[in-house]
Structure 1
Amino acid sequence: MEAIPWAISLATILASILLLKTLLRSHRRRLNLPPGPKPWPIIGNLNLIGALPHRSIHALAQKYGPIVQLRLGSVPVVVGSSVDMVKLFLKTHDLNFASRPKLAAGKYTTYNYSDITWSPYGPYWRQARKMCLMELFSAKRLDSCEYIRVEEMRLLLRNLYQASGRTITLKDYLSTVSLDVISRMVLGRKYFDDLESAEEFRKMTEEWFLLNGVVVNIGDYIPWLDFLDLQGYIKRMKELSKKFDIFLEHVLDEHKEKRLREGEGFVAKDMVDVLLQQAEDPSLEVKIERHGVKAFTQDLLVGGTESSAVTVEWAISELLKHPELLEKATEELDRVIGRDRWVEEKDMLKLPYIEAIMKETMRMHPVAPLLTQRLAREDCTVAGYDIPAGTRVLVNMWTIQRDPAIWDGPDEFRPERFIGSSVDIKGQDFKLLPFGSGRRMCPGYALGLKVIQVSLANLLHGFAWKLPDGVKVEELSMEEIFGLSTPRKVPLEAVIQPKLPAHLYVV
């Protein structure tokens, strides 16, 4: 008789669980979710994401429309693939989608989400953003560092001059000049004077971008499999983090010692000095710890090194495939600049065709074809569809920037489309967002534009370009690899010959 109450209690509990599940299922059915493919048990739609996720998701958008609901593992993901959808996510509802999901990359490669890229929306991120805009990337600071960009550009041109007539791997030279510019601006000096250390850092940067751009790390979507690290990504993230930390510790120790030596008369000379000063500011809403300074420094280094090199390499690749466009660019440079000096930053306003080449490169080969993932902070309705809190949001700029409804001949490289065009690349025109938009837009875009424009202009102004002997234009591969940036799969090789008087190549 004593077992009967126990049995009744158990039956009541089971009935309550079943009722709760029924109610939850009923609630889910009432949600008006965006259209999308039916998910499989456990893996969801992970099977539909290939090695180039932006292209896989593009195919889904062609089938289901400009807003698509996916389930990757156990995680709901919504993808926007039209100008209207992007405007809703990045402008109308920007605040609600201003946070980041807690992915393995942010945990293991950015000091547990302590950087600008992966830190969640809140006081810490707002403080970091303000510091970037007001201190690190202010117009005054960028102008004060122009001499660094000029010196390193001249050194690049000299090095290329010495390699003229031989086949070069362009990315090696571009990465070196980008690294040297950003090292001097951020760290105060070059830390990679020898080829071996520069090559090692370049590989670290490429690995960082690849791992931070991984769309399908299984543990991020099927948490109970996380400990297995089935793809080996977490192991690689931890190894990379250790390498960066050894270097960043050395940088911070060196800067601390310099400040102690100079005492009260110390004046901040580089961005790490500024970061260390900011970290000691008692008025900060959230204290910046040492690991935060390292995370910000790492962001500045890798972001400033990779993206500009990738864009310029794609631009030269496209011009080699289209010699008639290369000739137009050369004609403009000869007419506006002449052949007795190099291109300066102030010249760019007078070089609309060079600017058009840059914009067209960013359209066809976006550094970030899928903008870094965002997270719905609260339940929201977008275009009539329910987006529950916790949903991850992807924006597929690759689809938008190749949309035939927006661009005439979207798969053709046509810089002329931007001549006389008002299309903006600074986050206000949702047809072309190389640096993102809204609160999470890249804070260093102004520096990136300066480096890309002047690098491209001077490379075209100073040298005649051709493919190596035996390589036909139609054989030049334009394949890409996916990460947080999207570089060429096969680095570009070319042969150059100087065009200007020899004395200009002497630093």
Structure 2
Amino acid sequence: MVPLVYVLDFILLILFVVRLIYKPSSTKKNLPPSPPKLPVIGNLHQIGPLLHHSLHSLSRNRGAPVMLIHLGCVPTLVVSSADAAREIMKTNDCLFANRPNMKAWRGLLCEFKEVSSAPYGEYWRQAKSIMVLHLLSNKKIEAHRQIRGEEIAIVIDKINKSQVVNLSDMFVRFTNDVVCRVTFGQTYSEGESGRKFRKMLDEFFEVLGGLNFEDLIPWLAWVDRLRGYHAKVERVAREMDEFLNGVVEERLRDQSKKGGREDFVDMLIKIQKEDKIGVVLDRLAIKALLLDAYTAGTDTTATVLEWTFTELLKHPKALKKAQDEVRMVFNGKQQINQEDIDNLKYLKAVFKETLRLHPPIPTLVPRVASQDVKVMGFDITKGTRVIVNAWAIARDPKVWDDANEFRPERFLDCNIDFRGRDFDLIPFGAGRRGCPGVAFAMATNENLLANLLHKFDWELPNGEKEDDLDMNEKPGLTIRKKVPLLAVATPISF
């Protein structure tokens, strides 16, 4: 039998070696300020249904431009100042160019072959180039002018036949139809098929923005299964995949007899056949790009229109000023060109102010640190998830006077823009992962709103006053109004 003293000596030796190997770093990390967290769930108990509000409240209590929280076992950096956002999306943009690898997203977003979710690298660069060149370039936006005009005419005709207009629903249908025609070559909004299509899209955004326990606390995956989340994600992903497969298959069958305007499906099939881009554009990649084009261009665009019109109805003086400008510039014209739109300085200021107060995705799409890095002097560890609270940045009282007030006039003599160069206003993000569809979305928004202000006078229904207008937000990936926007339109004769 080995003497006990030898056993103890051996154990002490092992412990000494282990300590040498796993000796903690003598350099103490300078971590961002953090709110107290609970075991297992971290700070999840402090997060409400409206994420941007919860994060803003927590950050304000910490008093720092960045804050480290723990969503379950996921360390998450919350960015709440323009300077910190600049360090993330400009100074260290390449180090924060990746997206989180979330299981639910992988199934919904075509194995991360979408531009919005693809890992940073050669495939992402080529896919983004295809999207921009063949769908989102200024040349393509101009080529889509006829489609926008035809869909605007349909909207105007519907308004003329309505007593009370559900603007929230109308904006969704309009953006849906424009994007579907540009992407797929046809609309999917009418009849029973239209109802199913809209339901599928609603559910897609619901599960995409839903709480996924497995992503935050892996051993709680059983909770997601128990509450039916996994099953719903699988069903929605399957339905979307079947729809996209059907679109591609139908186009392949009909290519020999197709004529007229080329849409995005045609372009992708042509690129696949020519195979000149250096990256394999297989069926899954085609479906991913179609999904990206459609989903990124509908709800966010409709949300901007909804909040813009809401703010105008809530502020009658701003509404009248915008209408007066539109009617002066258009001067009785029935057809409006892009040069006319470019001359609507106040209308553009209205959109900027709306995007400041109501960015469509207030916390943007999350990023991930690909290596250890410093941000605002704090140590950020590789793998840390990053949430940029664009909503909080755009309401920073250190930057904006009367930060919570709707005042479009602030942008009439202000060079700050929303296209990613000015970090005080980043509703579409910035840097490599900034939204490439800003010009497409704003062309759609500006043309519709200008026409609605030109051809109709607007007021709230049932004698409601602007103070009665419900401004509450509905939780989701995109933040829309909780209560649909209704209004009465009075046609104007010229």
Paired residue secondary structure (2:454): helix
1:257 offset after TM fit, Å? Answer: 1.1
2:444 to 451, 459, 464: 451
Q: Which residue of 1 aligns with 2:78?
A: 79
| Aligned 8 A contact 1:68 1:80 in 2 | yes
Instruction: Tell me the distance in 2 between the aligned counterparts of 1:383 and 1:231.
Output: 40
One-letter code of the match for 2:301? S
| Distance change in 2, residues 1:41/1:17 (3 Å) | farther
Instruction: Tell me the distance in 2 between the aligned counterparts of 1:139 and 1:52.
Output: 35
1:286 offset after TM fit, Å? Answer: 3.0
1:52 offset after TM fit, Å? Answer: 0.6
Paired residue secondary structure (1:393): strand
1:373 offset after TM fit, Å? Answer: 0.3
Determine whether 1:206 maps to 2:205.
no
1:245 offset after TM fit, Å? Answer: 1.5
Instruction: Tell me the distance in 2 between the aligned counterparts of 1:268 and 1:155.
Output: 20
| Distance change in 2, residues 1:233/1:363 (3 Å) | farther
Superposition TM-score, scaled by structure 1 size: 0.91
How many residues of Structure 1 are paired with residues of Structure 2 in the alignment?
A: 492
| Distance change in 2, residues 1:100/1:357 (3 Å) | same
1:57 offset after TM fit, Å? Answer: 0.5
Q: Which residue of 1 aligns with 2:223?
A: 228
Higher mean Cα deviation, 335-344 or 76-85?
335-344
2:49 to 39, 48, 51: 51
1:180 to 165, 170, 177: 177
Instruction: Tell me the distance in 2 between the aligned counterparts of 1:440 and 1:324.
Output: 37
Q: Which residue of 2 aligns with 1:240?
A: 236
1:300-356: CA deviation from partner (whole Å, max 9, x where unpaired): 112211111111111111111111111111111121112342443331211111111
| Distance change in 2, residues 1:107/1:13 (3 Å) | farther
| Distance change in 2, residues 1:405/1:290 (3 Å) | same
Determine whether 1:364 maps to 2:357.
yes
Unaligned runs of 5+ in 1: 502-507
Instruction: Tell me the distance in 2 between the aligned counterparts of 1:325 and 1:364.
Output: 15
One-letter code of the match for 1:346? E
Instruction: Tell me the distance in 1 between the aligned counterparts of 2:264 and 2:327.
Output: 37
Instruction: Tell me the distance in 2 between the aligned counterparts of 1:379 and 1:102.
Output: 18
| Aligned 8 A contact 1:279 1:289 in 2 | yes
1:206 offset after TM fit, Å? Answer: 3.1
1:261-306: CA deviation from partner (whole Å, max 9, x where unpaired): 56xxx89811111122223443443312212211110111122111
1:197 offset after TM fit, Å? Answer: 2.8
| Aligned 8 A contact 2:300 2:361 in 1 | no
Higher mean Cα deviation, 434-443 or 466-475?
466-475
1:84-129: CA deviation from partner (whole Å, max 9, x where unpaired): 0000000000000000011134212112212111111122211111
| Distance change in 2, residues 1:372/1:13 (3 Å) | farther
In the TM superposition, 1:51-200 aligns within 5 A as: 51-64=49-62, 65-163=64-162, 166-192=163-189, 194-200=190-196
Higher mean Cα deviation, 275-284 or 82-91?
275-284
1:304 to 297, 302, 318: 297
1:196 offset after TM fit, Å? Answer: 3.2
Higher mean Cα deviation, 304-313 or 341-350?
341-350
Paired residue secondary structure (1:460): helix
Determine whether 1:433 maps to 2:426.
yes
1:30 offset after TM fit, Å? Answer: 1.5
Q: Which residue of 2 aligns with 1:505?
A: none
Instruction: Tell me the distance in 2 between the aligned counterparts of 1:17 and 1:167.
Output: 78
| Distance change in 2, residues 1:424/1:12 (3 Å) | same
Paired residue secondary structure (1:79): strand
1:371-396: CA deviation from partner (whole Å, max 9, x where unpaired): 10001111111121111111111100
1:443 offset after TM fit, Å? Answer: 1.3
Q: Which residue of 2 aligns with 1:399?
A: 392
Determine whether 1:345 maps to 2:338.
yes
One-letter code of the match for 1:97? F
| Distance change in 2, residues 1:13/1:448 (3 Å) | farther
| Aligned 8 A contact 1:210 1:482 in 2 | no
1:462 offset after TM fit, Å? Answer: 1.4
Instruction: Tell me the distance in 2 between the aligned counterparts of 1:13 and 1:417.
Output: 70
1:208 offset after TM fit, Å? Answer: 2.6
Instruction: Tell me the distance in 2 between the aligned counterparts of 1:425 and 1:300.
Output: 21
RMSD value over aligned CA atoms? Answer: 2.4
Instruction: Tell me the distance in 2 between the aligned counterparts of 1:21 and 1:55.
Output: 44
| Aligned 8 A contact 1:378 1:390 in 2 | yes
Instruction: Tell me the distance in 1 between the aligned counterparts of 2:214 and 2:378.
Output: 28
| Distance change in 2, residues 1:254/1:52 (3 Å) | same
Q: Which residue of 2 aligns with 1:504?
A: none
Instruction: Tell me the distance in 1 between the aligned counterparts of 2:103 and 2:280.
Output: 24
Q: Which residue of 2 aligns with 1:217?
A: 212
| Aligned 8 A contact 2:314 2:467 in 1 | yes
Instruction: Tell me the distance in 2 between the aligned counterparts of 1:331 and 1:470.
Output: 23
One-letter code of the match for 1:406? V
One-letter code of the match for 1:90? M
Instruction: Tell me the distance in 1 between the aligned counterparts of 2:482 and 2:148.
Output: 28
One-letter code of the match for 1:159? K
| Aligned 8 A contact 2:104 2:212 in 1 | no
Determine whether 1:325 maps to 2:318.
yes
Higher mean Cα deviation, 301-310 or 356-365?
301-310
1:199 offset after TM fit, Å? Answer: 3.3
2:480 to 460, 483, 487: 487
Q: Which residue of 2 aligns with 1:272?
A: 265
1:18 offset after TM fit, Å? Answer: 6.5
Instruction: Tell me the distance in 2 between the aligned counterparts of 1:17 and 1:354.
Output: 70
